[in-house]
Amino acid sequence: MKSATDERAQAAGVRPGRYAAIDIGTVTCRMLVADVDDAGALHELDREYAITNLGEDVDRTHHLKPEAIERVASTVARFLSVLASLQAADGVRARVTAFATSASRDADNAAEFERRLADLGVSVTVIPGAREAALSFSGASSCFPGEGVVVVDVGGGSTEVSAGWAGKPPARSRSFDIGCRRVTEKFLHADPPTASELDAARAWVRAAFRDYFADLRTRGLLDARLVAVAGTATTVVSVREAMAVYDSARVHKAHVSRADLDALFARMAALPLSERRKVTGLDPGRAPVIAAGLLILQEVLSAGSFDGFTVSESDILQGVILYAAQNAAGEGTQVC
């Protein structure tokens, strides 16, 4: 006979337990650990974050540098130590899903990177851009039940934009090969960047977004809340609020106006890198790419005629854990 817990879990379509999602991006490496209950709710236990710059020079060379691979391997090893400590404390083992995004998609030696993480006992999946967009939408929209939402995830190598209704798969989604590191390496060479460099970057981003946003407008999908996830968006709030210590609770669901975004972009674009690194609320490791990230966000707002956005701390990590809990069959759950 099934227990009440089993019946609730079956109704929610999840396998309760502990899950860890490891996101290996172009700029950052992150981990979320959460317990999923029988109703499908996530109870966060731990977050880890490091700027590892896996995608350093990948746009030009299509090759992951050995030192970049080792930076990620060292960070993932630290994440595994955190998981081991959690298990030692309460005896609960996490099901781990590790995935890599834009830089690994672009690299001709991604298999070498995968083998390096396999040495640590971690099976990593390089997910397609479309899958990344859908998972980001799932994680971000979960905080806005019943609403129409447009979710933008500005990463280091790519930007995902998805639109639809919370709780459902996105009606439209696309991954663009536009990210803060890619734009910086392509266009922003002076310190600080020149007006002509910024104009060239903006024109390139705007042209890439134009047709997709025109389609969203035609389909009526832009009459919705714009939700921005990932480091560029959260940095806007942490700098605006001068957070010497990052406070996730103050960042989550914070509203950022177009005026706020424009003011921060003007400030960051005018500062040399040495001064950007000193700005309170800005991770010094993100300082080299923050102007490009803000520019991309500006172009999303312009393309969609949005007057601001809501920042969400719920993103692809939550989306991956939700997916894993719904499809759990043991260790090594895949996300695509």
Tell me the per-residue pLDDT of 241-279, one tens digit each, with 9 for 90 and over: 999 999 989 999 999 999 999 999 999 999 999 999 999
Q: What per-residue confidence (pLDDT) applies to 328? A: 74
Tell me the CATH number at 185.
Answer: 3.30.420.150
Asked if 54 and 195 sit in the same domain, the reply is no
State the chain's mean pLDDT as an integer: 91
Asked if 257 and 188 sit in the same domain, the reply is yes
Q: What per-residue confidence (pLDDT) applies to 255? A: 97
Asked if 268 and 193 sit in the same domain, the reply is yes
Mean pLDDT of 158-182: 94
Q: What per-residue confidence (pLDDT) applies to 329? A: 41
Runs of H (alpha helix) within the chain: 4-12, 58-61, 66-90, 102-106, 110-118, 129-141, 180-187, 195-218, 231-240, 248-251, 258-270, 273-276, 290-304, 316-327
Portion of the chain with pLDDT greater than 90, in percent: 78
pLDDT of 6 over the 70 cut: no
- Which of 127, 162, 191 terminates a domain? The answer is 127
Mean pLDDT of 100-123: 94
3-state helix, strand, coil in the chain (%, to 5): 50, 20, 30
pLDDT of 10 over the 90 cut: no
Give the residue among 38, 15, 23, 18 at the shortest CA–CA distance from 84. Answer: 18
Highest average pLDDT, of 123-127, 129-133, 330-334, comes from 123-127
Tell me the CATH number at 24.
Answer: 3.30.420.40
Asked if 164 and 46 sit in the same domain, the reply is no
Q: Would residue 92 count as lying in a domain?
A: yes
Q: Cα–Cα distance between 144 and 286 in angstroms, integer?
A: 28
Confidence of residue 123 (pLDDT cuts 50, 70, 90): very high
Q: Cα–Cα distance between 83 and 194 in angstroms, integer?
A: 45
Asked if 107 and 144 sit in the same domain, the reply is no
For 71-80, 124-133, 287-296, which range has the lowest pLDDT when averaged over its residues? 124-133
Q: How many domains does the chain have?
A: 2
Q: State the residue range of the domain holding 168.
A: 139-316
pLDDT of 331 over the 80 cut: no
Asked if 148 and 274 sit in the same domain, the reply is yes
Q: Cα–Cα distance between 40 and 199 in angstroms, integer?
A: 46
pLDDT of 330 over the 60 cut: no
Q: Cα–Cα distance between 203 and 178 in angstroms, integer?
A: 12
Q: What per-residue confidence (pLDDT) applies to 14? A: 83
Runs of H (alpha helix) within 284-315: 290-304
Give the distance between the most distant pair of CA atoms in the chain.
70
- Which of 100, 127, 154 terminates a domain? The answer is 127
Order of strands, edge to edge, in the sheet holding 28-36? 42-51, 28-36, 17-24, 94-100, 124-126
Q: What per-residue confidence (pLDDT) applies to 2? A: 44
What is the amino acid identity at position 173? S
Mean pLDDT of 4-33: 78
Mean pLDDT of 294-310: 97
Q: What per-residue confidence (pLDDT) applies to 126? A: 93
Q: What per-residue confidence (pLDDT) applies to 12? A: 52
Q: Cα–Cα distance between 45 and 86 in angstroms, integer?
A: 9
CB 114 within 8 A of CB 154: no
CB 185 within 8 A of CB 59: yes
Residues facing 227 on adjacent strands: 151, 310
Asked if 31 and 79 sit in the same domain, the reply is yes
Q: What per-residue confidence (pLDDT) applies to 143? A: 87
Mean pLDDT of 280-302: 97
Residues 50-72 pLDDT 10s: 999 999 999 899 999 999 999 99
0.75 surpassed by pTM = yes
Residues 6+ apart with CB under 8 A from 22: 29, 30, 31, 76, 79, 96, 97, 98, 99, 122, 124
Helix (H, G, I), strand (E, B) or coil at 46: strand
Asked if 172 and 240 sit in the same domain, the reply is yes
Helix (H, G, I), strand (E, B) or coil at 157: coil
Give the residue among 211, 293, 311 at the shortest CA–CA distance from 28. Answer: 293
